Structure 1
Amino acid sequence: MVDEVGRSEKRRRLLSARFTVYFVLAMCLFPQADYLEVLRLVKTGDPGLRPWTGVNKSSLTRARQRLGWTVMRELFRAVARPLGRKDDLFRGLRVLALDGTLLAVPDSAANNDAFGKSGSQRSPMGYPQARVVAVAECSSHAVLDAVIGGFKESERIVSDALHTHVGSGTLLLADRGLWGLARWHRLRDQGTHLLRRIERRKARRVQDVLPDGSYLARIEANKHSKAAGTVKAPPALVRVIEYRVDGHADIVRLITSLTDPEKYPAAELAALYARRWEIELVFDEIKTHQRGRPVLRSQTPDGVRQEIYAHLIVHHATRDLLDEAARLHRSTAERTSFTRALHVVRRTVISPSGFSPLRPHTGPAPRAGRDRPQSVTPPPPP
């Protein structure tokens, strides 16, 4: 991966690009530790490493700068894959959720220029914030794709760069803040089915009422769009599902590309839409349990992007471990503890028999039931 993005060294270095990748991952795995402590923990996991003299925070910072952030992005795209099983599908479709979140970054001049912060230009408030828009698999909580933007950038605009794992055989759930007719057509052209909430003033032109109470409607581009000079998207025929949640007077209004009421009943789609909130749990796992600190540590925009993609890699690897444990114990990944799995991963890294960042792993694969860490065992079913 380092060679593919042109980050291999022209001369041999003590802090090689390959080692720096592992160091950045360890940095995200131990967010409360400083650079030298992270280096000590990596050294603990491989007692065979020779003593490193002259390595300090500055040299580790320069190693991160040489590595850049695109290596971590491509590594994330290489490892990110769906983890759900066939019985997690909704009538043959893999259910994904799309949403965004904000991550506070250090208040340096470079980060402020690149990402921006809340408040006005005269009275900015708080820390600069990076906006992360991601697609996650609802059943396994695995993040499949993510794009990083700034605080001032719209989630809708940032989400247009998402393309991995979204296509034929998937059903994408999204909230009304991510609506866009051109975006609808683009995703449909890729084969993606859509189920999303929408404002009540849209899709009011009823074409046909279906047996289950849903109806087909025509939705058109906004005639008063401020995007001057842009070609308006053509109309789309969508299926509208309206319902109320117990205890709430407001009507929830969904539109979907699944227009067959017999194959995709309205009641099932309404219940399924509640799974959109699974991505909020994914963000909580990363921001609260894994990151463990309110602000990222990188002082530069490239460092911030590198750190965010490293966090996504660590999260996916932890979720992969949970998925394997769930398969062994015939449970589901949703019922296992992410925090407990994170502790197992951390202990594995600092174990003297753990994986070495400088030598490829050539030993046999862990065997189910003996070598797999037992502390990941999910709770018994009720």
Structure 2
Amino acid sequence: MLISRLERLGLGVLTRSCPPELVDRVVGDAGRSEKRRRLLSARFTVYFVLAMCLFPQADYLEVLKLVKTGDKGLRSWSGVNKSSLTRARQRLGWPVMRELFRSVARPLGADGELFRGLRVLALDGILLAVPDSTGNNDAFGKSGSQRSPMGYPQARVVAVAECSSHAVLDAAIGGFKDSERIVSDALDAHAGTGTLLLADRGLWGLARWHRLRDQGTHLLWRIERRKARRVQDVLPDGSYLARIEANKHSKAAGTVKAPPALVRVIEYRVDGQADIVRLITSLTDHEKYPAEELAVLYARRWEIELVFDEIKTHQRGRPVLRSQTPDGVRQEIYAHLIVHHATRDLLEEAARLHRSIAERTSFTRALHVVRRSVISPSGFSPLSPQEGPTPGTLRNRSQSAAPPKIP
């Protein structure tokens, strides 16, 4: 029943999630609007890149054929080849896709999925293999040593995701050699008052803690056992308040050491494991936020690993991204994030109509619905009627024309 609702909702899901008016605004704000009418307009290129991520196994021309199947206005197009599509992607640039992702990314979870009034988010990173070109290798780097590099170059993506809906809300891209901690400092969207951010010990940083707290974000962070050892007060539920200070050996030259912070420490042991898990949190009220509930809640941090699996394994469908240049890689990654958010949005909408839970429906099946919506003859229209090719367009591309009006 839920899949049938997905089928009805999924018609033209890319234009549903990224309407032409929004695409045109983002393109204009980025200064990528055309001064003359182009066969491959910036708007069309945006939808082509999204479709390229929906059909990762298809080459450029096959993706174009699939898009043409979904839009009658494109069936008469000719003279487009791989080189022209590549140039169109280069003209568009990657910041357009980043800003489009930021425009569409929003929390999708219902209010009933909050933890004591807080929206639960998770922060973590992932590595994506990219083609072994000179540009990609210089920009992103490989594993191994400088003398003996190994495998493909890898782009590091650090993201914030909503645990309940698996919606990615913000993401930043770095290279293999870049620390997740440093890359994560570029993430500011959707963190603030009313949110609780879960993170692992590899992302810990006292200055980072203060920056997020200054935004109003509450934190639940795993930390090494040697941290936060200065006990200030023991609380009735077994947790305790402690003072945590900057590592005196990690101070970089010319930087100001982060001030100390008072945190609440929760320690517990998982059944069958010898190691003690140590969490610190900004939620110091033990009556409103019991330690046992926070320990159980922290397990939801692993939801972001499921998000990465959806993107990396099921949606991407190939071990290596296709873009040969660093700008193309960044453009492709943000396009994948847009497609994932659109699919998750579709699942959440169908679940609300069916009064069900989106997590109970296969992401892969929903992705198939999105793909079918693109190739449906009536479901996908990246161009307005005014933008379709007219007689003579292919023969005289340099002829000036006023920008098409947004429908």
TM-score (norm 2): 0.88
Separation in structure 2 between the aligned mates of residue 141 and residue 168 of structure 1, nearest angstrom: 20
1:57 counterpart = 2:93: no
TM superposition shift of 1:226: 4.8
What does residue 14 of structure 2 align with? none
Conserved 8 A contact 2:69-2:75: no
**8 Å CA contact 1:326, 1:333 repeated in 2:** yes
The alpha-carbon deviation at position 47 of structure 1 amounts to: 2.0
Letter of the 1:279 partner, please give it: I
CA contact (8 A) 1:139 1:333 kept: no
Structure-2 residue corresponding to 1:272: 297
The alignment status of 1:121 with 2:146, answered yes or no, reads yes
Aligned AA for 1:119? Answer: G
| Partner Cα distance (1:229, 1:47) in 2 | 61
2:354 corresponds to which letter in structure 1?
H
Deviation at 1:12, TM superposition (A): 1.2
Cα shift readout 1:164-222 (whole Å, capped 9, x = no counterpart): 00000000000000000000000000000000100000000000000000000000000
Q: How does 1:296-335 map to 2 (within 5 A)?
A: 296-335=321-360
- Counterpart AA for 1:284: D
Correspondence for 2:278 among 253, 260, 264: 253
CA deviations 1:262-312 (Å, max 9, x no partner) are 000000000000000000000000000000000000000000000000000
Could you tell me how far apart the structure 1 residues matched to 2:153 and 2:45 are? 26
1:211 matches 2:236: yes
Structure 2: 5+ residue runs without aligned partners?
A: 1-25, 386-407
Secondary structure, in 3 states, of the residue corresponding to 1:3?
A: helix
8 Å CA contact retained: 2:264, 2:280: yes
Q: Which residue of 2 aligns with 1:232?
A: 257
Q: Which has the higher helix share?
A: 2
Determine the C-alpha separation between the residues in 2 that align with 1:151 and 1:10.
38
Q: What is the alpha-carbon distance in structure 2 between the residues aligned to residue 50 and residue 8 of structure 1?
A: 24
Note the 1:42-121 alignment, pairs <5 A.
42-121=67-146
Q: Secondary structure at the match of 1:218?
A: strand
Does 1 or 2 have the higher relative contact order (CA < 8 Å, sep 6+)?
Answer: 2
Q: Deviations over 1:121-140 (max 9, x none)?
A: 00000000000000000000
Q: Deviations over 1:339-361 (max 9, x none)?
A: 0000000011101111211128x
Identity value in percent: 91
- Measure the CA separation in 2 of the matches of 1:14 and 1:76: 24
Structure 1 position 39 matched with structure 2 position 64: yes
Within the candidate set 181, 190, 211, 1:186 is matched to 211
Q: Distance in 2 between matches of 1:227 and 1:199?
A: 21
How much has 1:48 moved relative to structure 2?
Answer: 3.0
Where does structure 1 lack aligned partners over 5 or more consecutive residues? Answer: 361-382
Aligned pairs, how many? 360
The aligned residue for residue 53 of structure 2 is 28
Contact 1:23–1:39 (Cα < 8 Å) also in 2: yes
Using the TM superposition, give the Cα deviation of residue 50 of structure 1 relative to its aligned residue in structure 2, in angstroms.
4.5
TM-score under structure 1 length normalisation: 0.93
Tell me, in whole angstroms, the C-alpha distance in 1 between the residues paired with 2:260 and 2:351: 44
Aligned to 2:41: 16
Equivalent AA in structure 2 for residue 199 of structure 1? E
CA distance in 2, matches of 1:51, 1:308: 31
C-alpha distance in structure 2 between counterparts of 1:50 and 1:13, whole Å: 16
The SS at the match of 1:194 is: strand
| Post-superposition offset of 1:229 | 1.9
